[in-house]
Amino acid sequence: MNILDKIVADKRTEVDFKKSLIPVLQLEHSVLFENETISLVNKLKNSSSGIIAEHKRRSPSKSTINQDTNVFDVAKGYQSAGVCGMSVLTDGKYFGGALDDLLIARASCKLPLLRKEFIIDEYQIIEAKAFGADAILLIAAILTKAEIKQFSELAKRLNLEVLLEIHNEDELHKSVMPSLDMVGVNNRNLKTFDVSLDISKHLSELIPNDFIKVSESGINSVEAIKELQPYGYKGFLIGENFMKTDNAGESAKQFIQDLER
C-alpha cells in the first residue's frame, strides 16, 4: 500500500465520521456559504509571477516543515508579498492542517483560497465552500473519471474553481473536461517522492490551452519558474520553500522581487 492509498483509506473513515457529526444542511447554513468567491484563475491570468503560496506544517516526505506557524500571520504576509493565491492544507493526520486554518486564512486576507485536500466525497466540497474556500483541488490519481466529473460539476454549481492535479499522461487523458479551470502538474512522483521539473515540461504541450497550467512541487528557485514559463505555465504552487523559514510572507516577498527583477 503506497502513501496515497493509505491517506485515502484514512480519509474515507474521517469523512464518514464528519458526516455523522455535521449534516450537509448545517454546512449550507454557515455564514461563509453565501460568500462571493474570489477568482484564482483571474489572478493567475493577470500576474507576472503566478505564485500560489501554501500553508503547510508538515508532509509525509519531509515530516516537520514548520510546527510554530501562525496561519493569521502567514496569510497576512502572503497577501502583502503580492502572491496570487493561498493554498491551505486541511489534512490533519499527514500534513498537520485543519479546516480552521481555512477559516482563519479567510478572516485574515482577501486572497483567493485553495482548499488543498484529498477530496473523495461531495461532502468535502460543500465543506470547502462553508469554510471560505474559493477553489478546490481534485487529485486525478485517486479519482475515477466519473468522480472528477461529478465533483467538478458540483464545485461549479457552488462557484468554486477547480484545480485538477495530474502526474502523468494517463491521468491527463482521463480527466480533461469543461468543468475544470486549472490543470496542475505535480512534479513529485507519489510512489518514490522524487521530484523532477521534466514532468511539467513533458506534459505542458498535452494540456489544452483552455486551462490555466500550474506547476506544483519542487519549485524552490526563481530559475525553476523562469525555466517553466516558456512551457505555458501561469501558476506555481510553492509551499515548503516559504514555510521552512521563520517568516513565510517575507520569504515570499523576497522571492517575487527576485523573480520580477
Which three cell numbers mark 57? 506544517
CB of 220 closer than 8 Å to CB of 241 = yes
Predicted model pTM: 0.96
Identity of residue 61: S
- The domain limits of the chain are 37-260
In whole angstroms, give the CA distance from residue 11 to residue 19: 12
- Minimal CA–CA distance to 116: which of 172, 63, 184, 51? 184
CA 112, 118, 119, 123 torsion-angle sign? negative
Q: Is 54 a catalytic residue?
A: yes
**Of 49, 87, 187, 217, which residue is the catalytic one?**
217
Superfamily of domain 37-260: Aldolase class I (3.20.20.70)
Q: Is 186 a catalytic residue?
A: yes
**Of 11, 49, 54, 127, which residue is the catalytic one?**
54
Residue 109: how many other CB atoms lie within 10 Å: 22
Mean pLDDT, the chain cut into blocks of 10 residues (261 residues total): 89 98 97 96 96 89 72 96 98 94 97 98 98 98 97 98 97 96 92 87 96 95 96 95 93 96 88
CA 257, 38, 41, 54 torsion-angle sign? positive
Residue 125: how many other CB atoms lie within 10 Å: 24
Q: Is 117 a catalytic residue?
A: no
Q: Is 129 a catalytic residue?
A: no
Q: Is 216 a catalytic residue?
A: yes
